[in-house]
Amino acid sequence: MKICFYALRDDELQFCPAMKEKYGVDFIYTSEYPNDKNISLAENCDGMSCTPCDMSRKVLESFRNVGVKYILTRSIGYDHIDRAAARELGLKVDTVSYTPTGVADYAIMLMLASVRRFAHTLRRADLQDYSLKNKLGRDFSACTVGVMGTGRIGTTVIQHLSGFGCRILAYDVHENETAKRFAQYVDRDTIFRESDIITLHMNANDDNYHIIGHDSIAKMKPGAYIINTARGKLVDSDAIIAGIESGKLGGAALDVLEYENGLYYYNRMGEVIVNQKLAILRSFPNVILSPHTAFYTAEDVRDMVEGIFRSCYEFETGKKPHGVEA
C-alpha cells in the first residue's frame, strides 16, 4: 500500500513516519499541488492525498490513468472534488475528520474580535493611534448567536458559547440532541431575523450555496455580523460587500472565501493578485480575513495526516472508511 501526498507541508510530514509504521502504508510526497508535470509521481501508488485544490474530471482522469484508486483529501469538506466524475471513473473518495475544538474556538475568537472591533483597534495601535473613535464594541454576552450547521464543529461551538451567556439559536436539517441542551432550533428566517451574529458550520452543496446572500442579508438585523470558518461557497462575497457598504452588516470575519484556490497557502507577497472582491473586503475596517487557518492546530494536523493513512488502509483491506466516500 502506498500514498502520494501533494502539497505536503513540514508540519504534516513530521507525523508521516509514525503513521507509516502504524498502518503499514508507505508514502512519497511533494510540496507542490497537483499539476500536469507531477501527476506521474503517483504512478504505482494506491492513493493520492491533497488539500483543497482543483480536482476536476480532467485531473481525476490523469490520476486514474497512472493507477491511482483512492482520492484522499486532507479536509473535512470535499466540494473541490468532482465526486460524480470520481464515481464514473471508479475512483473512491474519502475525507478526514479531526477534533472539532480547534475550528470551534477559532470561530468564537472571530466573533469576539468582530464585535469588539479588535483587528481595527490593533491596526491603529500599531500606528500609535490610541484614541477611542470608531472602536466602540458590543457586549458579546448580550448577543444572540445563530449557529448554522450543528455537526461536530457546530455543536462544539454551541457548547463553548454557552459559557459566555449568549442566547443561542441553531439551524440544521438534522437536529442534534447535544446541541438542543444549549440552543433553540429554529428555521433559517428566524436565524436571519433574530441573530446578532451568524456563524456557519456547514458543508458546501447545492442546497446551501450562497446561503448568505442578498436576500438573507436583507432579512437580518441592522448591524449583524457574519462568521465563516466552513466553506467559501456558503457566502456571496458581493452580498457581503453590499451589506458592509450600506451599513446593514456590522462586519464579517471570513476564514474562507470563494475562489481561494491558488491564493490561500501560497506566499503571494509582492505579486498583483487579480481578485477584486478580496481587495474590496480587505479595505473594510470591520472585515477580518484570515487565510483558511481555523483548522491549524498541532492536534488537528496530526488527526488529518492519520486519517489519510487510515483511509488507504481501510480501502485496501475492505473496511468501510470513516469519512465521506464517493
Which residue among the candidates 152, 292, 302, 310 is catalytic per the annotation? 292
- Collect contacts of 32-35 with beta carbons under 8 A, ≥24 apart: 32/6, 32/7, 33/6, 33/7, 34/6, 34/59, 34/63
Supply the DSSP symbol for 221.
P
Q: Residues 80, 152, 231, 310: which is the catalytic one? A: 231
Handedness of CA 83, 1, 308, 50 (dihedral sign): negative
H or E element, residue 94: strand 92-94
Q: What is the DSSP string of 222-236?
A: TTEEEEE-S-GGGB-
Residues across the chain: 326
Place of cell 507577497: 269
Contact call for residues 41 and 66 (beta carbons, < 8 A): no
What angle, rounded to 10 degrees, do the helices at 152-161 and 101-115 form? 50
3-class secondary-structure state, position 131: coil
231 is catalytic: yes
Active site residue 260: yes
Which member of 260, 306, 310, 314 is catalytic? Answer: 260
Residue pair 47/4 in contact by the 8 Å Cβ criterion: yes
Helix axes 298-316, 101-115, angle to 10 degrees: 140
Please name the residue that has the C-alpha cell 507509516: 20
> How far apart are the C-alpha atoms of 140 and 196, rounded to whole Å?
9
User: Amino acid letter at 172?
Assistant: D
Tell me the one-letter amino acid at 112: L
What is the distance between the alpha carbons of residues 286 and 252, in angstroms, rounded to a whole number?
7
Q: Which residues are catalytic?
A: 231, 260, 292
